């Protein structure tokens, strides 16, 4: 076994491992090896990891919870940084500043988005409770403009702080600069290796009734446990076309349960693909193509993937 590389940081030591299977770090449980991989739960760790990659002339891929990704079977070249931390590490470290009628809070990119939904609701601030139960972290949710139950990240986001890898400086973008719309920001469609790393996000939230908000957050989290398929997946594979639902079209086309290799369209939710145990990225790509073709043939509607494909096919 190759030994891990240890890099001293401001607060401790960063561990960088070689040849780590991305299937162990994505919710789809698919993906070949990353040449190098490290976990950066805090900003100093994230910066130390980026410095290390730059010193070794390696491309950097920053991911969060890995819940919106299809990683190629040949993996990812360079350094993959898992920018995530448990919510318990943030309890007591995130300040809500009350300014007049609103609360302003800044959270690190590594913060779990579900934790943020529960946390803000429990303090009586509205607008993020839709995120309760959603996999992933703030960084990934900003990039994808994630959303549910009629809410989305961009609703209450005022700015994000980004590390510009080209100019090596921190810069602040307004919500408008992200050009966020349904499951889209300019950050999501930047070619890799990417220039921008999300460090922090700032939200402004209106007040709400604490009991009502916590009950709503709990019911959203509960709904996910009951209504969404369990098993290895990456959530909705396709975005919803205007005026309809991808899952509905897939169901109407009789494609629920359709399988290619190790991946199957969920019987519970037509827009979820389930890795039955040994799926490859090639299987998923083939199933995506099959569904797109069949839905287009039946309804004349082109389904567009919501999940991002990264790494080498």
Binding marks (x or -) toward ligand FAD, 242..281, rule CB under 6 A? Answer: ----------------------------------------
Interaction between residue 62 and ligand FAD (CB under 6 A): yes
Would residue 42 show up in a list of annotated catalytic residues for this protein?
Answer: no
| Of 63, 65, 61, 66, nearest in space to 79 by CA | 61
Interaction between residue 233 and ligand FAD (CB under 6 A): yes
Would residue 55 show up in a list of annotated catalytic residues for this protein?
Answer: no
Annotated catalytic residue within 183, 200, 216, 285: 183
Among 66, 75, 151, 270, binds ligand FAD (CB under 6 A): 66
Annotated catalytic residue within 43, 45, 152, 306: 306
| Of 85, 74, 102, nearest in space to 44 by CA | 85
Residues that bind ligand FAD (rule: CB under 6 A) add up to a total of: 32
Interaction between residue 79 and ligand FAD (CB under 6 A): no
| Of 204, 224, 250, nearest in space to 96 by CA | 204
**Residue 188 CB, nearest distance to ligand FAD (Å)?**
6
Interaction between residue 134 and ligand FAD (CB under 6 A): yes
Dmax (CA) for the chain in angstroms is 58
Would residue 236 show up in a list of annotated catalytic residues for this protein?
Answer: yes
Q: Between residues 194 and 298, which has the closer beta carbon with respect to ligand FAD? A: 194
Phi, psi of 95 (to 5 degrees): -95, 135
Q: What pairing do the DSSP bridges indicate for beta strands 33-39 and 76-82?
A: parallel
Among 31, 32, 33, 64, binds ligand FAD (CB under 6 A): 64
| Of 23, 247, 80, nearest in space to 256 by CA | 247
Annotated catalytic residue within 23, 67, 159, 236: 236
Q: Between residues 32 and 64, which has the closer beta carbon with respect to ligand FAD? A: 64
Whole-angstrom distance, CA of residue 105 vs CA of residue 107:
7
Q: Between residues 197 and 249, which has the closer beta carbon with respect to ligand FAD? A: 197
Structure tokens at 223: 């709904």
Binding marks (x or -) toward ligand FAD, 139..178, rule CB under 6 A? Answer: xxx-xx-xxx------------------------------
Whole-angstrom distance, CA of residue 83 vs CA of residue 49:
10
| Of 131, 1, 13, nearest in space to 67 by CA | 131
Interaction between residue 197 and ligand FAD (CB under 6 A): yes
Whole-angstrom distance, CA of residue 144 vs CA of residue 164:
19
Task: Tell me the three state secondary structure of residue 286.
Answer: helix
Burial 5-32 (b: 16+ CB within 10 A, else e): eebebeeeebebbeebbbbebbbbbbbb
Binding residues (CB under 6 A) for ligand FAD: these are 27, 62-69, 83, 109, 113, 134-137, 139-141, 143-144, 146-148, 188, 197-198, 228, 233-235, 308
Residues forming the active site: 183, 236, 306
């Amino acid at each position: 076994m190759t030994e891990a590389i240890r890099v001293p940081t401001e607060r401790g030591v960063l561990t960088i491992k070689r040849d780590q299977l991305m299937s162990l770090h994505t919710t789809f449980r698919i993906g070949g090896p990353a040449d190098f991989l490290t976990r950066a739960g805090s900003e100093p760790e994230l910066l130390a990891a980026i410095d290390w990659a730059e010193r070794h002339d390696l491309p950097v891929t920053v991911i969060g919870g890995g819940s919106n990704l299809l990683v190629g079977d040949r993996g990812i070249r360079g350094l993959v940084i898992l920018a995530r931390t448990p919510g318990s590490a943030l309890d007591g470290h995130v300040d809500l500043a009350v300014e007049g009628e609103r609360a302003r809070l800044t959270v690190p990119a590594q913060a779990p988005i579900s934790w943020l939904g529960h946390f803000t609701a429990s303090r009586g601030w509205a607008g993020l409770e839709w995120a309760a139960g959603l996999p992933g972290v703030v960084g990934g949710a900003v990039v994808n403009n994630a959303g549910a139950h009629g809410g989305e990240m961009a609703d209450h986001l005022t700015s994000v702080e980004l590390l510009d890898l080209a100019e090596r400086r921190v810069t602040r973008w307004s919500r408008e600069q992200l050009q966020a719309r349904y499951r889209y920001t300019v950050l999501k469609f930047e070619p890799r290796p990417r220039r921008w790393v999300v460090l922090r996000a700032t939200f402004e939230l209106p007040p709400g009734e604490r009991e009502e908000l916590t009950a709503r957050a709990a019911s959203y989290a509960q709904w996910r446990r009951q209504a969404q398929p369990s098993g290895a997946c990456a959530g909705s594979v396709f975005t919803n076309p205007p005026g309809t639902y991808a899952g509905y079209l897939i169901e109407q086309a009789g494609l629920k349960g359709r399988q290619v290799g190790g991946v199957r369209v969920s019987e519970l939710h037509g827009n979820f693909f389930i890795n039955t145990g040994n799926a490859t990225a090639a299987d998923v790509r083939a199933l995506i193509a099959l569904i797109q073709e069949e839905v287009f043939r039946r309804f004349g509607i082109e389904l567009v993937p919501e999940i991002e494909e990264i790494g080498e096919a």
